[in-house]
Amino acid sequence: MRTLLTLWLAPIVVFWSWHYLSLADVGGVIFSRELHDRVYLIYGAILHVDPDAIPGMIADAIKLDSAILFSFIAVRRRHAIAAWWRGCGRRLSARNSGFARQRSKASRSSAPCRMKAAAAESMRSARFLRETSASSRPRSAATVDSRSSQNRTGRWSSGP
């Protein structure tokens, strides 16, 4: 969709930039008033219209093309637009009635859920690292003896 909008907007920006810069006679060959007048004379001769009417005709054509393009985009995104429109109506009626309504589930952000999942994943990874690093650390004989379930004589002890 961005590509479509870029391909629609780029020629419009280039044309109107050239039109106003050459109308102001900025200089150079491309932005000279002489080229500006000749281009519009040629288009006027081809279309059999007054050269001064051509920029207005181009503006009208761009308006029509824009309406067609935006209606195409609206048809493609009609479900999201309808949900937004219903939400605007609810907010407007809540504002007019003086009562604040709670946001619908569709308009709520999923950021808190993502943050909670990220925190849980962080806790899991920290716990995993703590458990794996504790088992791989070298222990002294005193630590092993104190945690041993056997007493020093070789008999089993009932516990600490």
Residue 1 reports pLDDT greater than 90: no
Contacts of 106 (CB under 8 A, 6+ apart): 83, 87
Model pTM? Answer: 0.50
Q: Which of 11-25, 42-56, 72-86 has the lowest mean pLDDT?
A: 72-86
DSSP 38: H
pLDDT digits (tens, 9 = 90+) for 60-101: 999 999 999 999 989 988 998 888 888 877 766 666 665 545
Report in angstroms the alpha-carbon separations of 145 from 155, 158, 160.
13, 15, 12
